[in-house]
Amino acid sequence: RKEVEQDPGPFNVPEGATVAFNCTYSNSASQSFFWYRQDCRKEPKLLMSVYSSGNEDGRFTAQLNRASQYISLLIRDSKLSDSATYLCVVSPQGGYIPTFGRGTSLIVHP
Which residues of this protein are in contact with other proteins, per CB under 8 A? 31-32, 34, 36, 41-46, 49, 87, 89, 91-98, 100-103
Q: Judged by CB, which is closer to other proteins: 89, or 108?
A: 89
Residue 46 CB, nearest approach to other proteins (Å):
5
Between 44 and 64, name the residue whose CB sits nearer to other proteins.
Answer: 44
Q: What's the CA dihedral at 34, 37, 38, 44 to 10 degrees? A: -40
**CA 30 – CA 49 distance, rounded (Å):** 14
Residue nearer to other proteins on the CB measure, 63 or 104: 104
Structural contact between residues 21 and 68, judged by C-beta atoms closer than 8 angstroms: no
CB of 54 closer than 8 Å to CB of 70: no
Shortest Å distance, C-beta 14 to other proteins: 27
**Shortest distance, position 26 Cβ to other proteins, whole Å:** 15
Q: Which is nearer to other proteins, 15 or 57 (CB)?
A: 57
Smallest gap from residue 80 Cβ to other proteins (A): 23
